[in-house]
Structure 1
């Protein structure tokens, strides 16, 4: 089983445990399962899936696993109660597969702690609504991005990057060294929802993009904001990890989003028609 399949199964386990806690009114436990899920999400969005796999080396056994000392040092965070919950779950669980899931989660927490990323996960979990989807790098052109990504022996995967002001999803498969990137519409749903409510009548106005970028550096969007540049509305997106803002023209971004949705709908309809017709028809 690939590491991607393993993490997918672990995430399903988290969902089932969280739902069970919610149904029983155990709000603190439900919150801790959401916190644990944040570790899996963080590894994915920052392209560290294979790096995590390399750290395992048999750590995810069904015996009582070792817990990183760095997790026990995190007083005042969710880390300590989360580890306690996982160890209690491990002790209470009889099914082998579920024990493996719990051990994998403890290994995941250990990996984040040992690589010094616990504060980042804690911050992301506590302030998720204030952050735009994570992008780990920015490139001025598609060619520049491809040159960088194709030139790395083992690039981060899966992860988002920015090419100009647009999100791209990058993927890499270690098994056969295949890789690629495609346009991903990560912020367009938020743009659509915010414009549907109505753009504020008064927004910061600038003559040039450089002026807008300079102002945003000292007045960062949280994580989105509208500005006008040369009389045209732009959607500013704050990328905290990259210490920059992207600026998307509202009208053209919404048009591209609508075209994308229509293309997806058409593709879905064609696939459904092909499946319903059956082989040989």
Structure 2
């Protein structure tokens, strides 16, 4: 089973346990299963799936999974509560496939502890809705980004990066050593929603982008703020982990976003029509 399939299977297992806890009113258990899913999301968002696969290969099989000494020493109450929940699920589950899913998540918590990421995952979970979508690196040009991607033996994958002010998704396949990147329209829905709420009538105004950038260094967006540059409204997005801002022209971004959504809708309509025609043959 590939690491991607193992994580999908484990996620379904966690979802079924979360749903059961919710239906039966076990609020604390429901919260902890939701936390399990956040750990899985953190692994994917930070592009560490293959690193986790390597970690799993180093673990000797045992009748019952172990708890990492790093987790024991951390005194991290939430992660340790999650670990107790997962060990209990492992012990109570008779089906081998579900036991294996519990093991995947047990080892994921151990992986986070052993790689000293407990604080990072706590920050991710607690501030996920307040931060801008996570990007792991910034490049001035696409050529720079492609050189970075090609130059790494095994890049993090999949992982969002910034090229200029735009999000891209960089990907790598270990199985065939293929890699690439494509435009990722993840910030556009944020701009659409924030603009729909209304741009404040009085926003910080600047003549040039450089002036706006200097001001934002001392007045970071939290994480989104509107500014005006040469009379045009921009959304300033603070990327806390990268210690920088991106600036997105509101009007042209929304126009491009509408065109992108229409193109996606046309493609879905063509696919549906093709399926209908194929089914009728």
Class of the TM-score when normalised by the shorter of the 2 chains: over 0.9
Q: 1:20 to 1:249 in 2, by over 3 A?
A: same
> Could you tell me how far 1:241 is from its partner in structure 2?
1.3
Is 1:258 paired with 2:255? no
Counterpart position of 2:122: 122
- Which residue of structure 2 lines up, in the alignment, with residue 155 of structure 1? 155
Structure 2 match to 1:10: 10
CA displacement 1:167-192 (0-9 Å, x = unmatched): 00111111111111100011111111
Q: Are the structure 2 counterparts of residues 132 and 198 from structure 1 closer, same or farther at C-alpha, using a change threshold of 3 Å? A: same
Whole-angstrom CA distance in 2 between matches of 1:121 and 1:95:
30
* 1:83–1:106 contact (8 Å) kept in structure 2: yes
Partner SS, residue 186 of structure 1: coil
Report the Cα distance in structure 1 between the residues aligned to 2:114 and 2:75, rounded to whole angstroms.
16
Could you say which residue in structure 1 is the equivalent of 2:53? 53
Classify 1:106/1:129 alpha carbon distance in 2 versus 1 (closer, same or farther; 3 Å).
same
1:146 aligns with 2:146: yes
Partner residue in 2 for 1:225: 225
Q: Name the SS for the 1:73 alignment partner.
A: helix
1:273 aligns with 2:273: yes
CA distance in 2, matches of 1:7, 1:142: 31
The count of residues paired between Structure 1 and Structure 2 equals: 281
State the 1:63 CA deviation. Answer: 2.6
Structure 1 unmatched runs, 5+: none
Q: Aligned-pair distance for 1:58?
A: 6.2
Q: 1:73, CA displacement in angstroms?
A: 2.8
In 1, Cα distance between equivalents of 2:224 and 2:46: 21
Q: 1:133, 1:215 → 2: CA distance?
A: 22
Show the counterpart of 1:88.
88
RMSD value over aligned CA atoms?
1.6
Secondary structure at 1:4's aligned position in 2?
Answer: helix
Q: TM-score, normalised by structure 1?
A: 0.95
Q: Counterpart of 2:129 in 1: which secondary structure?
A: helix
Q: TM-score w.r.t. structure 2 length?
A: 0.95
> Which whole-Å CA distance do the structure 2 matches of 1:43 and 1:76 have between them?
18
